[in-house]
């Protein structure tokens, strides 16, 4: 199996997508994204993330629904939440009614007046924790290391919790009313047009799923997600949701052995399995969106040793050179997408190589209104040798300090000679020179 996957990878990445016309490049990029997303889902990491989300969902479901019901009750439409839950749990078959009754019963038993301030705060915290876990999962998929600030998370999470139920109800209500038979009669819609509209009505759940997933994939990751990758991932996730629902319903219908062994507890196990499948689908769609936005990403880019020290040095200096050139031209920084396009590398790779320079406050990243990388200090004041030192020392202080090693006089002498040669070769060259043609005119042949 591994040999077949390696052969598939070699064939898919043999041709560069940049060399193909758009109508050929897009299917290739989509196929690569699907293969890489399947590889990620088959691995342990995302499986464990989906399992942890199942656990968090079980803890947060009742508080989250309680908050949602309260919002819907304020608009007088809280009774519409029950059909939405029944639709979400449709693959559970007839047992979904009992499960929804249990969940709504728990929600009805929550009395805000009895809970008090501390109880309401804990209720909101439990609901927010689910959204926070989802963001962490998406940030891992998108290789984003930076977390949102507390104020950003607080405002974003509460806005999602309080506005999502109203928006979802509005979309469902509008869709249902548009395709109502009374509306058809009032508008005089008959014949082929009425049949076409009823066909659209059957597709409405899929369209709503695509819209919801697109919104989630665009908003939740702490990075800028372009529309086309988000919509592509949303379409894949929505199709998988519908297909998985049909297959899971068949599984539940034939799972009589579970009922015989676990009795009344079987529905809880099946419910947990369905929630697990849902989170796998959500994460799979996020993976597809990530790889669609980063078509140059290859299977080896995730490994820490995917690049040799020489390659990492070249990528880092090339990136810093472009930042210095943009600074000299008066450009207010470069977006991750501009850097990735110019260097023909995935955005996460550039984020990784710039991380040590961000830690040393040599570069900065702004997020208003678009994320941009720019020099944090004047490039002309930074010796080129200092940039190389930052690269060499990356990660050194995390595990083992140099002074913890056994003293080797010969090695110490060699290191001093290498550093002296480097300083002699670089002379007074600065970071700013990386963005000029000075280094290309040294007359040294490769």
Measured distance CA(213)–CA(208) in Å, rounded: 9
Quick: pLDDT tens for 321-346: 999 999 988 888 898 888 888 888 88
Q: Which of 225, 260, 293 is the last residue of a domain?
A: 293
Q: Do residues 316 and 283 share a domain? A: no
Q: What is the C-alpha separation between 206 and 213, in angstroms, rounded?
A: 11
pLDDT tens-digit series, residues 156-170: 777 777 766 666 665
> With 0-12 CB in 10 A as exposed, 13-18 as middle and 19+ as buried, what is 102?
middle
User: Would you say residue 55 has pLDDT above 50?
Assistant: yes
φ/ψ region of 143 (left if φ > 0, alpha if ψ in -120 to 50, else beta) reads: left
Q: Are residues 229 and 140 in the same domain?
A: yes
Clarify whether residues 138 and 193 are in a common domain: yes
Same domain, 207 and 314: no
- Assess whether 56 and 109 both reside in one domain: yes
- Whole-model pTM: value is 0.75
Looking at the fold, whether 37 and 152 belong to one and the same domain comes out as yes
In a domain, 23, yes or no: yes
Task: Tell whether 319 is covered by a domain.
Answer: yes
273 and 307 inside one domain: no
Q: Indicate if 273 and 334 belong to the same structural domain.
A: no
Which of 88, 49, 56 is closest to 248 using CA atoms? 88
In a domain? residue 98: yes
Q: How confident is the model at residue 146 (pLDDT cuts 50, 70, 90)?
A: confident
Mean pLDDT estimate for the chain:
77
Average pLDDT over residues 30-54: 86
| Cα–Cα distance list, 375 to 313, 319, 382, 429 (Å) | 18, 11, 10, 17
Question: Looking at the structure, do residues 62 and 206 belong to the same domain, yes or no?
Answer: yes
Task: Say whether pLDDT at 145 is over 90.
Answer: no
Domain range holding 381?
303-396+411-440
**Residue 319 sits in the same domain as residue 277:** no
Whether 4 is in a domain gets the answer no
Residue 88 lies in a domain: yes
Interval 215-220 mean pLDDT: 88
Q: Is there a single domain that holds both residue 182 and residue 220?
A: yes
Number of domains in the chain: 2
Q: Is the CB of residue 384 less than 8 Å from the CB of residue 434?
A: yes
| Spatial separation of the C-alpha atoms in residues 379 and 364, rounded to whole Å | 12
> What is the mean pLDDT of the segment spanning 293-300?
74
At 131, list the tokens.
Answer: 């959204």
Is residue 298 in a domain? Answer: no
Distance in Å from the first CA to the final CA of the chain: 42
> In this structure, is residue 1 part of a structural domain?
no
Distance CA 219, CA 217 (A): 6
- Give the C-alpha distances (Å, rounded to integers) separating 347 from 94, 287, 343, 350: 47, 14, 10, 5
């Amino acid at each position: 199996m591994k040999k077949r996957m390696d052969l598939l990878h070699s064939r898919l990445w043999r041709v560069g997508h940049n060399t193909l016309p758009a109508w050929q490049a897009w299917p290739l990029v989509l196929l690569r994204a699907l293969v890489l997303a399947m590889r990620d889902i088959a691995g342990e990491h995302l499986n464990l993330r989906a399992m942890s989300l199942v656990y968090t969902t079980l803890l947060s479901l009742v508080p989250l629904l309680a908050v949602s019901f309260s919002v819907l009750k304020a608009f007088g439409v809280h009774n519409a939440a029950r059909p939405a839950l029944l639709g979400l749990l449709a693959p559970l078959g007839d047992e979904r009614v009992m499960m929804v009754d249990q969940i709504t019963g728990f929600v009805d038993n929550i009395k805000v007046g009895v809970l008090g301030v501390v109880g309401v705060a804990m209720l909101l915290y439990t609901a927010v924790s689910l959204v926070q876990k989802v963001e962490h999962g998406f940030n891992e998929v998108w290789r984003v290391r930076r977390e949102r600030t507390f104020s950003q998370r607080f405002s974003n999470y509460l806005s999602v919790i309080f506005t999502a139920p109203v928006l979802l109800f509005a979309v469902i209500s509008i869709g249902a009313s548009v395709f109502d038979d009374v509306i058809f009669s009032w508008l005089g819609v008959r014949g082929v047009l009425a049949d076409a509209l009823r066909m659209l009505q059957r597709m409405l759940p899929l369209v709503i799923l695509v819209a919801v997933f697109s919104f989630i994939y665009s908003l939740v990751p702490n990075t800028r997600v372009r529309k086309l990758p988000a919509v592509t991932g949303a379409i894949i996730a929505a199709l998988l949701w519908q297909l998985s629902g049909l297959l899971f319903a068949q599984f539940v219908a034939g799972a009589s052995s579970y009922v015989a062994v676990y009795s009344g507890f079987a529905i809880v196990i099946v419910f947990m399995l369905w929630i697990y499948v849902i989170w796998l689908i959500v994460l799979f769609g996020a993976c597809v969106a990530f790889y669609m936005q980063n078509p140059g990403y290859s299977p080896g880019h995730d490994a820490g040793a995917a690049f040799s020290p020489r390659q990492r040095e070249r990528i880092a200096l090339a990136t810093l050179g472009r930042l210095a050139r943009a600074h000299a031209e008066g450009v207010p920084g470069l977006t991750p997408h501009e850097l990735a396009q110019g260097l023909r590398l995935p955005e996460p790779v550039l984020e990784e190589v710039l991380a040590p320079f961000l830690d040393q406050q040599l570069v900065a990243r702004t997020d208003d209104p678009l994320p941009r990388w720019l020099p944090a200090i004047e490039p002309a004041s930074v010796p080129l040798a200092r940039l190389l030192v930052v690269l060499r020392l990356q990660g050194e202080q995390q595990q083992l300090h140099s002074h913890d090693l056994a003293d080797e006089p010969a090695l110490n002498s060699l290191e001093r000679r290498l550093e002296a040669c480097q300083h002699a070769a670089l002379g007074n060259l600065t970071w700013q020179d990386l963005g000029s043609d000075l280094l290309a005119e040294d007359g040294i042949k490769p």
